[in-house]
Structure 1
Amino acid sequence: MSYVHVIGTGGTIASRAEAGGSVVADSAEQVLGSLGLSTGVTTEDVLHINSFHLTFADLLTIHHAVHAACARPEVSGVVITHGTDTMEETAFFLSLLHDADKPVVLTGAQRAADLPNTDGPENLRQAVEAAASATMRGAGVVIGFEAEFHAARHTRKRHTLATTTFSGGTLIAQYHNDVLTRLATAVPYPVLDAPTADFAELNIPVIDAAPGSTAELFYAALASGADGIVLQGVGAGNAPPVFTDAVQAAVAAGVPVVLSTRVPTGPVAAIYGNGGGVTLLDSGALSAGQLNTYQARMLLAVLLAQKLPAGTLRARFEAQTL
Structure 2
Amino acid sequence: MAVYSLGGTIAMTTDPATGGVVPALSAHDLLAAVPGLDRHGIDLRVHDFRRVPGASLTFDDLTELGAAIDKTLDGGDVDGVVITQGTDTIEETAFFLDLHHDHDQPVIVTGAMRNPTMASPDGPANLYAAVIAAADPQLRGAGVLVVLNDEIHAARHVRKSHTTSPAAFTSPGAGPVGRVAEDRVRLASPPPTRVAPLAPAARDARVGLYTVSLDDDGTLLEAWDGRCDGLVVAAFGVGHVPQRLVENLERLAGRIPVVLASRIGNGPVLTETYGFPGSEKDLIGRGLIPAGDLGPYQARLLLQTLLAQDADHETITSKFSAFAR
Q: TM-score range by the shorter chain?
A: over 0.9
Q: What pairs up with 1:119-138 in 2 under 5 angstroms? A: 119-138=122-141
Match of 1:307 among 300, 307, 310: 310
Aligned residue number for residue 193 of structure 2: 188
Query: Residue type of the partner of 2:195?
Result: P
**Worse-superposed segment, 303-312 or 171-180:** 171-180
Query: Residue type of the partner of 1:32?
Result: L
Secondary structure, counterpart of 1:222 in structure 2:
coil
Distance 1:54 1:104 in 2: 18
Aligned residue number for residue 268 of structure 1: 269
Q: What pairs up with 1:126-205 in 2 under 5 angstroms? A: 126-168=129-171, 169=174, 171-196=176-201, 198=203, 201-205=204-208
Query: Residue type of the partner of 1:275?
Result: G
Shift of 1:312: 2.1
Q: Is the 8 A contact 2:83 2:109 kept in 1?
A: yes
**Worse-superposed segment, 273-282 or 75-84:** 273-282
Shift of 1:182: 2.8
Shift of 1:79: 0.2
Query: Residue type of the partner of 1:185?
Result: P
Query: Residue type of the partner of 2:192?
Result: V
Query: Residue type of the partner of 1:107?
Result: T
Structure 1 vs Structure 2: percent identity of aligned residues?
37
Distance 1:69 1:217 in 2: 44
Whether 2:115 is the aligned partner of 1:94: answer: no
Q: Is the 8 A contact 1:267 1:291 kept in 2?
A: yes
What's the CA shift string for 1:271-320, capped at 9, x where partnerless? Answer: 33211212211111111111111011111111111102222222223223
How has the CA–CA distance of structure 1 residues 126 and 146 changed in structure 2, closer, same or farther, with 3 Å as cutoff? same
Structure 1 spans left out of the alignment, 5+ residues? none
What's the CA shift string for 1:17-61, capped at 9, x where partnerless? Answer: 221532111111111114231212011122211111122212212
Q: Is the 8 A contact 1:207 1:231 kept in 2?
A: yes
Distance 1:292 1:313 in 2: 16
Aligned residue number for residue 41 of structure 1: 44
Match of 2:247 among 239, 245, 248: 245
Q: Is the 8 A contact 1:151 1:170 kept in 2?
A: no
Query: Residue type of the partner of 2:193?
Result: P
Secondary structure, counterpart of 1:74 in structure 2:
coil
Distance 2:92 2:244 in 1: 29
CA RMSD of aligned residues (A): 1.6
Whether 2:24 is the aligned partner of 1:12: answer: no
Aligned residue number for residue 61 of structure 1: 64
Aligned residue number for residue 284 of structure 2: 281
Q: Is the 8 A contact 1:232 1:262 kept in 2?
A: yes
**Worse-superposed segment, 203-212 or 268-277:** 268-277
Secondary structure, counterpart of 1:87 in structure 2:
helix
Distance 1:88 1:23 in 2: 21
How has the CA–CA distance of structure 1 residues 260 and 229 changed in structure 2, closer, same or farther, with 3 Å as cutoff? same
Distance 1:119 1:178 in 2: 17
Distance 2:19 2:232 in 1: 34
Distance 1:67 1:121 in 2: 26
Q: Is the 8 A contact 1:139 1:172 kept in 2?
A: no
What's the CA shift string for 1:208-248, capped at 9, x where partnerless? Answer: 1111222222221113x201111111111111112211221
Secondary structure, counterpart of 1:60 in structure 2:
helix
Aligned residue number for residue 115 of structure 1: 118
Query: Residue type of the partner of 1:293?
Result: P
Equivalent residue pairs, number = 315
Query: Residue type of the partner of 2:225?
Result: L
Distance 1:256 1:312 in 2: 11
What's the CA shift string for 1:174-199, capped at 9, x where partnerless? Answer: 1123232233322323223232252x
Aligned residue number for residue 238 of structure 2: 236
Whether 2:219 is the aligned partner of 1:216: answer: yes
Query: Residue type of the partner of 2:89?
Result: T
Aligned residue number for residue 24 of structure 2: 25
Distance 1:133 1:319 in 2: 28
Distance 2:215 2:144 in 1: 39
Q: Is the 8 A contact 2:136 2:184 kept in 1?
A: no
Q: Is the 8 A contact 1:231 1:260 kept in 2?
A: yes
Secondary structure, counterpart of 2:88 in structure 1:
coil
Distance 2:2 2:22 in 1: 24
Secondary structure, counterpart of 1:75 in structure 2:
coil
